[in-house]
Amino acid sequence: MTDDDGDQINRVGRGSMSFVPRIRRQTDYNTYPPSIPIVIDNGASYFRIGWAGETEPRVVFRNIVQRPRHKATGETVTIVGDLDPALMKYFDCTRSGPRSPFDSNVVYQFEIMEYILDFAFDRLGANGSRIDHPILITECACNPVQSRSKMAELLFETYGVPAVAFGVDAAFSYKYNQLHGICKEDGIVLCPGFTTTHAIPFVDGEPVYKGSCRTNIGGYHVTDYLKQLLSLKYPFHSSRFTWEKAEDLKLEHCYIAPDYASEVRLFQEGTKEAEEKTRYWQLPWIPPPTEVPPSEEEIARKAAIREKQGQRLREMAEAKKLSKINEMESELSSLRFLVKQLDQVEEDDIPTFLSDTGYASRQELESTILKVTQSLRKARGEPMNEPSEIEENTDSLNNEKYPLMNIPDDMLTPEQLKDKKRQMFLKSTTEGRLRARQKRNEEELEKERRNQLEEERRRENPEFYLEEMRAQYKEVLERVEQKKRLKTNGSSNGNNKSGGVGRGERLSAAQRERMRLLTTAAFDRGKGEDTFGARDEDWQLYKLMSKDNDDDDEQPDSDEAELARLTSRLQEIDPTFVQKVEGENQTPGEVPRVRQLTEEDYKIVIGIERFRCPEILFHPNLVGIEQVGLDEMAGASIRRLPHEETELEEKKLTSSILMTGGCSLLPGMKERLEYGIRMIRPCGDPIIVVRAMDPVLDAWRGASAFAANLNF
């Protein structure tokens, strides 16, 4: 950001407060004398401020406040109204959303209201914190006294205004249109606003607030309903349906249906008229890159490269193996030479000789020679010693290492008995480890031998070997998928063709047996006293029920291990092999895979939503608000009038019904309102519905004309 941004970014305010406005600051504030009032239309959606007697407000902005942090400095900045999207990159708005001073149509957040008034007076051109002009500010009908007193306190105490007057926005709009001959002295004003809708009757040019009524439905709910419907219809584009975008779509495409039921039927039947009323919004779409299958030359080249890499890896492994064998042969030679030297040493010098070489006893040296010999045979691929041979080699060592093993217990002292138990434990543990190591060595040798045989077969006939591997992979994959289907859906039979299974068919054999035992224990005792556990047989049954018979399910599946081996092998030798993704070739009862989005998926179709969303103004129960609609509010307002006035003024009131407020701009509102009111009024009553000259600005213009009157 630079100083050239001028009007786009200008920090003003009291104390540490700062603003980022988009609106140009007025320069003629000092030319107006203090007797000229300032007119404010404080709407729940937009804030408008200007001078009395003028026809247009000077400053108009959204009635919201944000307080994000500046990314560079970390300073908290107050943003009033809408910010230029080009400047949003400088601020972190993740922890600060837009906030409104309104709850429904009543101001209750006066801290936010102070930010908005600061900004409005600054943009109007005021210098300093004191405002020397009287203020006329609008409010909703029947505004709570507490909210009005708090607003007056804020204007008097904070800004030092000399006088404050309050007026109802819908009444100002009606009076302004009455001056221009749009409506009569006796009538009803219907004001579908941002969050609420009001109906106020007028008798002899004056509002009768005893007959006014309100519903908690407005333009905000229409926009939010449209946003929800589009997000549910296109969940993969929900991030694009922001509230601002939904508001634009509402103003551009929504309309009021003359007859909601027949309009819905029109779209259900898919007629040509419904197609003409459908609108499309094409989102940016980039086609995914098409994958060109590799040519035969490319496949052959990759196979040659892979073969060359494999040969190089095999050569490296062979060289490493030879190096390891040479090291072990050298170590074995040195150990045998050490044994020969030990045979030539005198008996008294043996402990000193062994301690110099790092061994505690002759048995430890011989055990080391045995281990190195076994490792060398394993590395060479030679068969290991038979268990009997190993036992013969280790028996002599065990006899010397565990001297108490073969001595009877009655010949040992208590301390020697403890040592004997310890030696027995050590011996059994050592023998178990040796057996496990021997088993692992045999498995590794068998695996290596099988790999060598497969490699020889592949070199003899590569094509036949590849086809055989593919056939094995397909067969094993089918078995694995069949097991998974059986585990999920149970065994299939002729009586169950729909794919739906019960709990009994999903249980394994062990689980079914356990359920049978439970049933037997529960129902074979009759309905008398519960005596389970009194007999020995009951405890045998309890052991069977408590036994964990599901160990087989937790053991690794040999087919899955074989499938993993075949997959790894095919990936090495077949460049064209593609591993099958789990979930392909699904049965009808399984969840389908997520398909790739196409250009059609990026085309937003707005059909029935065009009139379904505004319909909540006439039927709020569509969004869960159990209140009357816009057409019924006129009848409710007439019924609330005092009885002596109702008989005389009913026909006059229905002959001049004024629509004002932002939602009055929706196409079809006038016709639908006339139709709805005619359905609830007696036959022959005149029903005349007119729309305000400017439903959005007439409230401010009426307040401006009222404040310019000399009697104000």
Average pLDDT, the chain: 81
CA distances in angstroms from 632 to 433, 620, 638, 669, listed in the order given:
89, 12, 10, 14
The phi, psi pair for 495, rounded to 5°, reads -85, -10
Say if pTM beats, i.e. exceeds, 0.85.
Answer: no
Query: So what's the pLDDT on residue 156?
Result: 95
Mean pLDDT of 668-697: 92
pLDDT at position 112: 94
User: How many CB atoms within 10 Å of residue 10?
Assistant: 16
Condensed to tens digits (0 to 9), the pLDDT of residues 414-430 reads: 887 887 788 787 778 87
- Looking at the predicted structure, is the pLDDT value of residue 403 above 80? no
> 688's torsion region: left (phi>0), alpha (psi -120 to 50) or beta?
beta
| pLDDT score for 576 | 73
Mean pLDDT highest for which of 360-364, 478-482, 536-540? 478-482
Residues 162-172 have a mean pLDDT of 95
Which alpha helices (DSSP H) does 616-666 contain, by range? 630-639, 643-654
d(CA 1, CA 11): 13
The pLDDT of residue 173 is above 50? yes
Calculate mean pLDDT across residues 484-499. 54
The three-class DSSP label of residue 251 is helix
Q: Give SS3 for 207.
A: strand
Beta bridge partners of 168: 139
Average pLDDT of 1-12?
38
What phi-psi label fits residue 670: left (phi over 0), alpha (psi between -120 and 50 degrees) or beta? alpha
What does residue 148 show for φ and ψ, rounded to 5 degrees? -65, -40
Q: What is the pLDDT of residue 590?
A: 41
Report the phi/psi class of residue 79: left, alpha or beta, with left for phi > 0 and alpha for psi in -120 to 50.
beta
b/e per residue 189-198 (b: at least 16 CB within 10 A): bbbbbbbbbb
106-117: pLDDT as tens digits: 999 999 999 999
Q: State residue 100's pLDDT score.
A: 92
Average pLDDT estimate for 283-308: 85
DSSP result, 501-561: --HHHHS-HHHHHHHHHHHHHHHTTTTS---TTSSHHHHHHHHHHHS---HHHHSPPHHHH
**Lowest model confidence (mean pLDDT) among 314-328, 348-362, 456-470:** 348-362
pLDDT band, residue 524 (cuts 50/70/90): low
Q: What is the pLDDT of residue 528?
A: 54
Residue 597: φ, ψ to 5°? -70, 140
Which residues share a beta bridge with 60? Answer: 48
Q: Using a pLDDT cut of 90, give the percent of the chain over it.
A: 39
Expressed in angstroms, the distance from the first to the final Cα of the chain is 46
Are 416 and 404 within 8 A, CB to CB?
Answer: yes
Beta bridge partners of 282: 603
- Rounded to whole angstroms, the Cα distance separating 467 from 570 reads 10
pLDDT at 582 over 60: no
Distance, in Å, from the CA atom of 49 to the CA atom of 42, rounded to the nearest integer, reads: 8
Kindly give the pairing relationship between strand 206-207 and strand 279-282.
unpaired
Query: Does the structure show a pLDDT above 70 at 391?
Result: no
Q: Residue 497 has what pLDDT?
A: 41
pLDDT at 220: 95
Between 15 and 429, name the one with better pLDDT.
Answer: 429
Residue type, 202: F
Say which range, 227-241, 257-271, 400-414, has the weakest mean pLDDT. Answer: 400-414
Q: Is the pLDDT of residue 182 over 70?
A: yes
DSSP letter for 19, please: B
What pLDDT is stored for residue 446 in this prediction?
Answer: 84
CA 170 from centre of chain: 42
pLDDT computed for residue 521 by the predictor: 62
Render pLDDT for 128-140 as a digit per residue (tens, 0 to 9): 889 999 999 999 9
Please give the average per-residue pLDDT across 288-296, as a whole number: 80
Which position has the higher pLDDT, 77 or 490?
A: 77
What confidence category does residue 53 fall into, taking pLDDT thresholds of 50, 70 and 90? very high
Would you state the torsion angle of the CA atoms of residues 641, 644, 645, 646, taken in this order, to the nearest 10 degrees? 60
Question: Which range has highest mean pLDDT (96-100, 421-425, 575-579, 696-700)?
Answer: 696-700
pLDDT at 559 over 90: no
Q: What pLDDT, on a 0 to 100 scale, did the predictor assign at position 277?
A: 94
Give the count of beta carbons closer than 10 Å to the beta carbon of residue 101: 23
Strand 135-139 with 164-168, pairing: parallel
More confident of the two residues 6 and 53: 53
Position with higher pLDDT, 543 vs 283: 283
pLDDT above 90: residue 594 = no
Residue 206, strand partner residues: 203
Band (489; pLDDT cuts 50, 70, 90): low
Lowest mean pLDDT among 207-221, 448-462, 683-697: 448-462
Mean pLDDT of 178-197: 94
Assess contact for 584 and 557: CB atoms under 8 A: no
Q: Which of 113-117, 218-222, 255-259, 365-369 has the lowest mean pLDDT?
A: 365-369
For residue 31, the model assigns a pLDDT of 93
The partner residues of 102 in beta bridges, in order of sequence, read 107
Nearest residue to 614 via CA among 200, 238, 258: 258
Task: Quick: pLDDT tens for 204-229.
Answer: 899 999 999 999 999 999 999 999 99
Cα 275 from chain centre: 34
Q: Over 90: is that where the pLDDT of 697 sits?
A: yes
User: Three-state DSSP class for 189?
Assistant: strand
Q: How far apart are CA 599 and CA 285, in angstroms?
A: 6
Residues 6+ apart with CB under 8 A from 46: 60, 61, 62, 63, 696
CA distance 384 to 373: 10
Q: What is the rounded CA–CA span in Å between residue 710 and residue 135?
A: 15
Confidence of residue 632 (pLDDT cuts 50, 70, 90): very high
Which helix (H) or strand (E) is 175 found in, with range? helix 169-179
How far apart (Å, rounded) are the C-alpha atoms in residues 334 and 675? Answer: 111
